[in-house]
Amino acid sequence: MFHRTERLLLRPIWQEDWEAIYGGIADEGVVRNLARAPWPYRADDAKAFVELPQDQMSPRFLVTRARDAALVGCIGIDRCGDDVELGYWIARQHWGQGYATEAGRGVIEIARMLGHDALVASHFLDNPASGRVLTKLGFEPTGAIRPRHSCGRGEESLTAEYRLELAERPSMPRQAA
């Protein structure tokens, strides 16, 4: 599955992408904000990541700039118990340019097309930038602060949890005057 936004192309992750992924994520400042990526992140980790099976209902995308195909990061949705969780990372050189929000909007459109009712997401408390991205995407804080293991940190850290309802809300009937 492919998806085009204003500046980005979200596309499937292919085996030959491992080097670009490794070049973008092998940065402690990126990995420490992720739950599942280990630190240090090695070439073999990138090779294993591109080999993961793809699930049509939980797609993962390579995020590239549309104008030059430069790797920006990765984004996707994944089953997490009964929920569908949004996760992403953006390579450090692309931080602060609105790419996470733009890619997130694209994935939310895809999640709606796939028929998901809601998405969940979280961020480590010491990464408020991700909280701002989630808020811009329409996620609402649930009020829950929970510990979550981070492979990159090698320990549990507190996360703030968010939820975004995707189901179309019926419009309120107009009352007669």
User: How many whole angstroms separate alpha carbon 43 and alpha carbon 33?
Assistant: 19
Average pLDDT over residues 160-172: 78
pLDDT attached to residue 173: 46
Q: Is the pLDDT of residue 174 over 70?
A: no
- Respond yes or no on whether the N-terminal peptide bond of residue 53 is cis (omega within 30° of 0): no
- CB–CB of 103/9 below 8 Å? no
3-state secondary structure of 77: strand
The per-residue pLDDT of the chain, averaged, comes to: 94
Reported pTM: 0.92
The residue assigned the tokens 């009937």 is 173
Beta bridge partners of 63: 10, 73
- Each domain of the chain, given as residue ranges in start order, spans 3-165
Confidence of residue 144 (pLDDT cuts 50, 70, 90): very high
Which segments of the chain does DSSP mark as H helices, in order?
A: 18-25, 28-31, 43-51, 99-113, 128-136
pLDDT attached to residue 167: 82
User: How many whole angstroms separate alpha carbon 49 and alpha carbon 56?
Assistant: 17
Q: Is the pLDDT of residue 129 over 70?
A: yes
CATH among 3.20.20.140, 3.40.630.30, 3.20.20.70, 3.30.70.120 for 3-165: 3.40.630.30
